[in-house]
Chain A
Amino acid sequence: MLPRIKKRLEWLGHFFFYCMLTIGGQRTAYFFLYPVIFTYVLGSRKIHRQALPYLRRRFPDHSRSQLFFDVFKNVLSFGKVLVDRGWMGLNQRAELTGTFTDSDRLRALIREGNGVVILLAHVGNWQTSLARLDALEVGVHALMEFDEQSVSKHFFELRGKAPFRIIDVHGFMGGMIEATTALQQGDLVLMMADRLHQGRHARVPFLNDQVRLPVSAYHLAMTAGSPVVILFGAKTGRREYALKIWDILYPGQSGLSREEELTASARKFAAALERYVEQYPYQWYNFFDIWQQ
């Protein structure tokens, strides 16, 4: 009975925000977001369980009351991203303006013809940021989990077309065959690298603690001879975002053994992610205890 009520309340919540977006637009939906998120953070233990593993490590000096407001800011930031997605989906004329720092570097890597592995994380509004990849003149393929696929499909179907082709990670050999072929053709392969689902991994430091991160992306790049670009997007204003290359790796060119190389690459990814959350502490949307998995 309780799950049914919860589901209905969730549906009502979505319906309310879609109405607000349709009638009043993005600004009105943002306005209602504050009391809704505050009530949610006040009443839900689950959201604290999901957000605190990160926030406690990001703000080790914060008191319990400060952490409560950190959870609020984190969830509010996520809520704004959801509103943006809904707003852009419902209104075909709606656009976010943004910058893509180092896009020339990415174009130069593409011109080398060895394909490029692009690593992403559950930070910022990555779906909106990825729409910028549409302008590149190569195929873009995204290795995704089912839930990431459904969210992306939902977002891009509302917008009319997806800027990338989805490869299912639960397909034969985790989609790695298609990913390899795409790189051999000189295309881009996008992968989420901040959450381990299965397969080989490396233990690396992240926010003064150890996490296990997947290494398949680095292995793929090393084998195909492709560079790895760490690309994160951040919301920088009500209608603005910034897409930036945080690091470029060349796995396999350092003379280390394969295992050392994979660990070193995962370590560099974690370091880039640390720099990102240093700058955008509330745009971390990996609501999952990655330190305990």
Chain B
Amino acid sequence: MNDLKKELKEMLVRDLKLQDVDPAGIGDDDPLFEEGLGLDSLDAVELVVLINKHYGIQIKDMEEGRIAFASVNALADYITRHQGQAD
């Protein structure tokens, strides 16, 4: 689980091109959007595509997105729970 969180943090910084953000500095429970990492709805679009591309998981609607994108912890948990279903 810790490896997955590390991987997710690196993916966020690299693929969303977050400037001046150190992956190690992102807290597991930091909110990803608005007051946390400052991501917006267009970053959410990229994140949905990235999660599908890297983990084969489709985030289907707003409610699932709201849960999955709450923090790195929540995203890792969501991926772990859905990875079996994606295979």
A residues near B (Cβ < 8 Å) are 171-181, 184, 199-200, 216, 219-220, 223-224
**A173/B41 in contact, CB under 8 A:** yes
Residues on A with C-beta less than 8 A from B33 are 173
For B40, B46, B48, B58, the residue with the greatest tally of chain A CB atoms inside 10 Å of its CB is: B48
Q: Return the chain A residue nearest B42 by Cβ.
A: A219
CA–CA, A80 and B32, complex, Å = 48
**B40/A172 in contact, CB under 8 A:** no
CA–CA, A179 and B61, complex, Å = 9
CA–CA, A219 and B49, complex, Å = 12
Given A199-B40, A200-B42, check contact A173 B49 (CB 8 Å): no
The 8 Å CB contact of B65, one of A177, A220, A223, A224, is A177
The 8 Å CB contact of A224, one of B44, B49, B66, is B49
Known: A180-B45, A199-B42, A219-B42. 16 other contacts (CB 8 A): A172-B62, A172-B63, A173-B40, A173-B41, A173-B44, A176-B45, A177-B48, A177-B59, A177-B65, A178-B60, A179-B45, A180-B48, A180-B49, A199-B41, A223-B46, A224-B49
Quote the shortest CB–CB distance from B59 to chain A (angstroms): 6
Give the interface SS of chain B, mostly helix, strand, loop or mixed: helix
Residues on A with C-beta less than 8 A from B61 are 177-178, 181
Quote the shortest CB–CB distance from A281 to chain B (angstroms): 34
**B42/A181 in contact, CB under 8 A:** no
The 8 Å CB contact of B58, one of A173, A175, A181, A223, is A181
**B65/A173 in contact, CB under 8 A:** yes
Q: Return the chain A residue nearest B39 by Cβ.
A: A173
Closest 8 CB pairs of A and B: A177-B65, A172-B62, A173-B44, A173-B41, A174-B41, A180-B48, A176-B41, A171-B62
CA–CA, A171 and B33, complex, Å = 14
Interface presence of B52 (CB below 8 A):
yes
Residues on B with C-beta less than 8 A from A179 are 45
**A172/B66 in contact, CB under 8 A:** yes
Quote the shortest CB–CB distance from B21 to chain A (angstroms): 18
CA–CA, A175 and B49, complex, Å = 15
Q: Return the chain B residue nearest A262 by Cβ.
A: B42
CB interface residues, B 1-53, toward A, < 8 Å: 33, 40-42, 44-46, 48-49, 52
CB interface residues, B 49-78, toward A, < 8 Å: 49, 52, 58-66, 69
Residues on B with C-beta less than 8 A from A181 are 48, 58-61
Residues on A with C-beta less than 8 A from B44 are 173, 176-177, 180
Q: Return the chain A residue nearest B50 by Cβ.
A: A223
Quote the shortest CB–CB distance from B1 to chain A (angstroms): 24
Residues on A with C-beta less than 8 A from B60 are 178, 181
Residues on B with C-beta less than 8 A from A172 are 62-63, 65-66
CA–CA, A224 and B52, complex, Å = 11
**B49/A223 in contact, CB under 8 A:** yes
Residues on B with C-beta less than 8 A from A200 are 40, 42
CA–CA, A171 and B41, complex, Å = 11
Quote the shortest CB–CB distance from A249 to chain B (angstroms): 17
CA–CA, A178 and B64, complex, Å = 10
CA–CA, A223 and B46, complex, Å = 6
CA–CA, A216 and B49, complex, Å = 15
**B62/A173 in contact, CB under 8 A:** yes
List, sorted by A's number, 29 A–B pairs whose CB atoms are closer than 8 Å: A172-B65, A172-B66, A173-B40, A173-B41, A174-B41, A175-B62, A176-B41, A176-B44, A177-B45, A177-B48, A177-B61, A177-B64, A178-B60, A178-B62, A180-B45, A180-B48, A180-B49, A181-B58, A181-B61, A184-B48, A184-B58, A199-B41, A216-B41, A216-B42, A219-B45, A223-B45, A223-B46, A223-B49, A224-B49
